[in-house]
Amino acid sequence: TFRILNSSRDLALSLVETAQYVGYIEDTLQVIAQPQSVVDAPNAKQLVAKGGAVELRNVRFSYGDNRSDTLHRLNLRIPAGQKVGIVGPSGAGKSTLVHLLQRLYDVHSGEVLIDGQPLTEVKQDSLRAALAVVPQEITLFHRTLMENIRFARPEATDEEVYAAARAACCDAFIRATPDGYNTLVGERGMKLSGGQRQRIGIARAFLKDAPIIILDEATSALDTESEMEIQRSLVRLMRGRTVIAVAHRLSTLTAFDRIIVVKGGQIVEDGTATELRQRGGLFETMWRLQAEGLSVDEAENAA
Ligand code: ATP
């Protein structure tokens, strides 16, 4: 009887382990389930990121062979350290532009360059290391909060993770949980609010410490305190880095050095927020509609 009990306990243990592995495999699959259309050239070199200058030269791109261009001969030069907000109606090509910068797809013609190096000539690992992406929806794993932040740079020390969490205004809420940084996250663990998830995403970007930040601002409404903390930590994150942001919030639009209005796959306006408002074009209309209470997305589509 003892032996049977023992083996059923072993069986239960191995089931638990198997379930943990399945969780781990799920996590890994989520990370690698990205478009795989792009491969390193045989002679690909390491990207040497300096200040993080970005350039799109005459870029044409469409998602399928028979579709009309999503981006038409787009030209854009972003000097190192400039903070650029991209706005425009739904389907304009804003996300496509930031996807091409990450080389999730290759352009059909033209070039995308970082610090003068064409993305087609560099190793993708080195490209990924130069970019910190803060997406709208932060992917969290069924792991501890510590592991969820450290994911951005697995070799980071605990101290570095704490520093990133402090910079992203998540240290306080993490320490307020009973298990602190060891708190498990996810379906079977702690559920994080939208604002907390975003701050974890920002902490990851701090930890990665890349020269270029790609930010897809969340559209979801947050409580005022979360909103303020997120703005504060984003301003801190943007300091000294190149930023390309798909902007959805009026409050951040004013934090950018430059606004680009994309419509129909082309840049239709380009300047500071003040300049564009004076010009009286699409941006000014969007600005006015927002002032009347529409969200950025509603205003972009109504303008
Ligand atoms: P939104 O503000 O709604 O996110 P956007 O300006 O970011 O819009 P994109 O997502 O870049 O616009 O889309 C540009 C065009 O490309 C749209 O017509 C869209 O339907 C199309 N598109 C986007 N992603 C894909 C894809 N993976 N496959 C095929 N077509 C796509």
Whole-structure pTM value: 0.85
> Which residues, at least 6 apart from 154, have a Cβ–Cβ distance to it below 8 Å?
none
Measuring from each residue's beta carbon to the nearest atom of ligand 1, which residues come in under 6 Å?
63, 70, 88, 90-96
The Cα-based distances of 173 to 193, 200, 290 in angstroms read 11, 11, 32
Task: Single out the residue of 98, 99, 95, 103 nearest to residue 121, CA to CA.
Answer: 103
Task: Single out the residue of 170, 177, 176 nearest to residue 229, CA to CA.
Answer: 170
> Which residues, at least 6 apart from 161, have a Cβ–Cβ distance to it below 8 Å?
146, 149, 150, 181, 203, 207
Distance from the alpha carbon of residue 235 to the mean position of ligand 1, in angstroms:
28
The interface pTM score, or ipTM, of the predicted complex is 0.96
Q: What is the pLDDT of residues 270-295, one digit of tens each?
A: 999 999 999 989 999 888 888 787 77
The minimum-distance atom of ligand 1 relative to the CA of 246 is 7
Best substitution site from 36, 90, 261 to test ligand 1's pocket, by max atoms within 8 Å of Cβ? 90
Pairing of strands 258-263, 83-87: parallel
| Res. 6 pLDDT band, cuts 50 70 90 | low
β-sheet bridge partners, residue 266 = 263
Structure confidence at residue 248 (pLDDT)? 78
- Residue 116, judged by CB atoms within 10 A of its CB (0-12, 13-18, 19+), counts as exposed
Q: What is the pLDDT of residues 50-89, one digit of tens each?
A: 999 999 999 999 998 666 889 999 999 999 999 999 999 8
**Ligand 1 atom 11: the closest Cα is on which residue?**
93
Q: What is the pLDDT of residues 233-258, one digit of tens each?
A: 999 999 999 999 998 776 678 889 99
Best substitution site from 95, 105, 136, 246 to test ligand 1's pocket, by max atoms within 8 Å of Cβ? 95
| Res. 186 pLDDT band, cuts 50 70 90 | confident
Q: What is the pLDDT of residues 204-224, one digit of tens each?
A: 999 999 999 999 987 766 777
Report the share of the chain in percent with pLDDT over 70. 85
How many other CB atoms are there within 10 angstroms of residue 289's CB atom? 18
Distance from the alpha carbon of residue 104 to the mean position of ligand 1, in angstroms:
14
Chain Cα centroid distance, residue 172: 23
